[in-house]
Structure formats: C-alpha cells, structure tokens
Amino acid sequence: MYKVLFIVLLSIYLLSGCEEDVPPLPDAIECDKSALLDIDLYDSGPSDEFHIDSVWIRSNCLFLQYRYGGGCGHTNMQLVGYHNLTKPLPTSLTARFSFKDEDNCEAYLQFTESFDLTPYQKNDYPQVILQIGGWDTPILYSY
C-alpha cells in the first residue's frame, strides 16, 4: 500500500515539475521606423534595387525581410503610401518600399526592418487592405 502511495506521489511531483516558464509575448511591439503617408514621396522617392523575401504584420508593425547588394555604405528603407479613395470598401492603401542605396559594395545581404502602421489607420474603419508594390499578395491590416 505504501509503495503504491509513494509511486502516485512521486509521479505527481515529477509531472508537476515539467512546466516551462515561457514569458508571454509583449502586447506592444516597438517598430524600427514609422510608415509614411506621402503621395509625393510615393511618386518621387528613391527606388534603388532590392528584393523582398517576405512581409508580415505583428501588432501594429509591418515587417519586411529583404536583400540587396552592398555591405559597406549607407542605406535607407522607408514605407510610403497613400489612401486609395477610389476603391470600394474595405478601405485600401497603396504603398511601396522606398530604398536609397549609397552602398556600392557587392555582398548580397539580408535585412529585416519593421514599420509602425498606425499612420495608415483610418477613422471609422477597423481594417485597411495594403497593396504593396513588389509584393503580389494584398495584406490585411486590422487594428
């Protein structure tokens, strides 16, 4: 009888010790930069060559993973867009990544940057469809 009780208590003790203390995901994520609403910059901003690997949204941040040739000079990536008022609901926004590459080295590098999408929020609408140049799939941004 004591053996059975000992085995049961030992099993409970061992199984209860298997929990991992996994920290919860933060509610607020700090983005690297802010997205811009500027039709003039959309039309005339820098457009040096780069390749988009992936785009995703987490919280209010849009993440861009991209590659470009360089490695020894200054670069600047921006997300610029404008609200497309001619499209029917749900509201949509046309955007593109504006990339300035003052880097004439030859290494093929991969980077990930994030952009705060709160400037793209529109009053009275709980979501915006982002149409991003260079990325074929529209992205639904819900807030």
CATH at 50: 2.60.40.2370
Amino acid at 40: D
Comparing 11 with 89, the larger pLDDT belongs to 89
* Segment 108-129 mean pLDDT: 93
Is 16 a domain residue? no
Please determine, for residue 97, whether its predicted confidence score (pLDDT) is greater than 50.
yes
Q: How far apart are CA 97 and CA 2, in angstroms?
A: 70
- Helix count and strand count (H, E) for the chain: 2, 9
How many CB atoms sit inside 10 A of residue 33's CB? 14
Residue 71: give the domain boundaries.
Answer: 32-142
Does a structural domain hold residue 27? no
Number of Cβ atoms within 10 Å of the Cβ of 119: 15
pLDDT in tens, 49-82: 999 999 999 999 999 999 998 888 889 999 999 9
Domain for residue 9, yes or no? no
Q: What is the DSSP string of 7-30?
A: HHHHHHHHHHTT---PPPPPSS--
CA-CA distance, 79 to 98, in Å (whole number)?
A: 6
Question: At residue 81, what are phi and psi to the nearest 5 degrees?
Answer: -160, 180
Mean pLDDT (the chain, rounded): 84
Structure pTM? 0.75
Better-predicted residue by pLDDT, 133 or 20: 133
Q: Would you say 92 and 122 are in contact if contact means Cβ atoms under 8 Å apart?
A: no
In a domain, 14, yes or no: no
Could you tell me the strand order of the sheet in which 127-132 lies?
36-37, 74-84, 92-102, 127-132, 139-142
Domain count, the chain: 1
Per-residue pLDDT tens digits for 21-32:
544 445 568 999
Q: Per-residue DSSP letters for 34-78?
A: E-EE-HHHHHHS-B---EEEEEEEETTEEEEEEEEEESSSEEEEE
In a domain, 23, yes or no: no
